[in-house]
Amino acid sequence: MQSTFKLTTAAILVAASLSACNGDNTVENSAKVASVLSKALTAQDAEKFLAATEQELVQLNLEGSRAAWINSNFITQDTSALAAAADQKSTESGVRFAMQAAKFDSVEVSADQRRKLNILKQSLVMPAPQDSAKSAELAKIGAELNSLYGKGNYTTKSGETLSLGEMTATMATSRNYDELLEMWQGWRTISPAMKPLYIRQAELGNEGAQGLGYADLGAMWRSNYDMPADDFAKELDRLWGQIKPLYNDLHCYVRTELGKTYGEDKVPQDQPIPAHLLGNMWAQSWGNIYDLVAPENADPGYDVTKQLASHNYDEIKMVKGAESFFTSLGFEALPATFWQRSLFTKPADRDVVCHASAWDLDAKDDIRIKMCIQKTGEDFSVIHHELGHNFYQRAYQNQPVYYQNSANDGFHEAIGDTIALSVTPKYLKEIGLIDTIPDESKDIGLLMKMALDKVAFIPFGLMVDQWRWKVYSGEITPENYNSAWWELREKYQGVTTPIDRNVDAFDPGAKYHVPGGVPYSRYFLAHIQQFEFHRALCEISGNTDPIHRCSIYNNKDAGAALNTVLEMGSSQPWQAAYKVLTGNEQMDATAILDYFAPLHTWLKDKNQGKQCGF
């Protein structure tokens, strides 16, 4: 799994949403708002305020999205400065909207008005203090952090300069312990320079959140889920408790197999796994080491990467293939501008942020992806995920700007992955990539590979924000940033640093979402929700196969049900949208357990007599 950044249609709703505005319109709308707020307030005043703010939001988002797109695709000092200026205007506007919305807290308003007002108050991701100099500083820091990550590279001991993409490819394929260690260490040389910037960003973000009435920025983030902040944290712990037994058995088995490959002196069988041996720069998903841990006789007889090559799939054909999944469900094809304006391959002549992302620039049809596509089976699935964002964005385009977002931020991440769960052998045969469907004796291998990507990711998806929440609350202080990061990784993942880390190291900064300021709980939620959505859609489609063999490809009933939820946007609490699809208002991780049940039985058998745990 590759985690994905999404730029929402409302400038204030997502971490790195960068916006500029038309000065005349801003002044005019600000004057209207000031007039509304200068007297005793009523529901009618709330409606006037929301209408004026909506006009400003539309303009902010359009121009700001363009600034963000240019900066991510042409990383220079000038575009970073423009992005920082746009970000400052966006953040200042978001803070102003939030403060003004708070003035209606005690006013009796309609349920729809209250929801919109709460969205204005709660949806800032990096709120600036009410001080122009500090908001400018915060915007500049955000742009600098983004640039440090985007320009990051490493010069090897042999003198070769490698990009993140090149190092990631080595991490995925090399089985040389020392080479893996060099790549792992090399990428982390980019992040120490981020630490002082990050410390100051946290201080300013906390000050902005406190100005809006929250204890700290983490509390503000947790308040954005239609439930009390403390209840949300408890809900994540409850869900993790459901999954942990499956994860523990997967971890135990993988550690044993890695011990056979690298030696138990390098992979102690009673300790966490060294982070550089799991096939991924961040050890967040383990699918790339499938060859080291694959069950015997589980080869399904095909390799998607090889099949893509043999069927002459280039980058565009891969995207076209993913688009056809959505159109088979009844969704309209992507607009011509998508193909004209998206970035599909890494340019040779400039720096870009290669991290895969989906964009909605005008809240209408200007939807795009930005991705340095590699012709692999993994990226074929990632493209399905990215288009999930785009089809979601277009589905809710007729909602008011306040509701042009997913029911909760996990929904956006889950939708594309729900589709990817239907990329089964049955589907691959239907689109002509393979000739025959392997029999059920091969399911353990397929489930193992899926678990290495999905189940292995879940504790990582939980711990990133666990770390940030503790940073924002002051429980983790700057001198303990790195040690606390690894303590949490050992606690949740059973993964450890392969070498002692310097006290000034800033390993969290080597993960895009930390310097990018993108909340990460959405990815944990997405891994819960996608299996629930998949189980529900399979039931709607009339599927009779085991859930892990189900594909909803070409089923219009499933597509119609999915579209109903997508069109809702964030117009109702996420629990209501959840109920439309699953019949329940509470998330339930048993869908994951159902999906991987045959594998879990197999793992328990393989782990008999072993010392599991970390």
Q: Given 247, 403, 427, 523, which residue is catalytic?
A: 523
Contact assessment for residue 171 and residue 498, using Cβ atoms and an 8 Å cutoff: no
Separation between Cα atoms, residue 142 and residue 162, nearest integer Å: 24
The reply to whether 137 belongs to the active site is no
Q: Given 83, 139, 356, 395, which residue is catalytic?
A: 356
Q: Write out the H or E segment, with its range, that includes residue 6.
A: strand 5-7
Beta bridge partners of 342: none
Contact assessment for residue 267 and residue 292, using Cβ atoms and an 8 Å cutoff: no
Helices (H), 541-555: none
Amino acid at 73: N
Q: Given 251, 276, 384, 389, which residue is catalytic?
A: 389
The reply to whether 276 belongs to the active site is no
Separation between Cα atoms, residue 401 and residue 52, nearest integer Å: 12
Q: Given 63, 182, 413, 532, which residue is catalytic?
A: 413
Q: Given 384, 412, 513, 548, which residue is catalytic?
A: 513
Phi-psi group of 263: left, alpha or beta (phi > 0 → left; psi -120 to 50 → alpha; rest → beta) = left
Separation between Cα atoms, residue 126 and residue 116, nearest integer Å: 19
- Please provide the distance, in angstroms rounded to a whole number, between the alpha carbons at the two ends of the chain: 24
Residue 405 CB partners (closer than 8 Å, separation 6+): 8, 9, 10, 13, 123, 396, 412, 569, 570
Contact assessment for residue 431 and residue 321, using Cβ atoms and an 8 Å cutoff: yes
DSSP assignment of 430-482? HTTS-SSPPPGGGHHHHHHHHHHHTTTHHHHHHHHHHHHHHHHHTSS-GGGHH
Collapsed DSSP state (helix, strand, coil) of residue 35: helix
Q: Given 56, 386, 490, 532, which residue is catalytic?
A: 386
DSSP assignment of 106-164? TS---HHHHHHHHHHHH--SSPPPS-HHHHHHHHHHHHHHHHHHHT-EEE-TTS-EEEH
Separation between Cα atoms, residue 375 and residue 306, nearest integer Å: 9
Q: Given 251, 276, 384, 385, which residue is catalytic?
A: 385
The reply to whether 385 belongs to the active site is yes
Q: Given 11, 136, 137, 355, which residue is catalytic?
A: 355
The reply to whether 386 belongs to the active site is yes
Give the tokens for residue 306.
């090889």
Collapsed DSSP state (helix, strand, coil) of residue 87: helix
The reply to whether 389 belongs to the active site is yes
The reply to whether 355 belongs to the active site is yes
Contact assessment for residue 485 and residue 464, using Cβ atoms and an 8 Å cutoff: no
> Residues with catalytic annotation?
355-356, 385-386, 389, 413, 513, 523
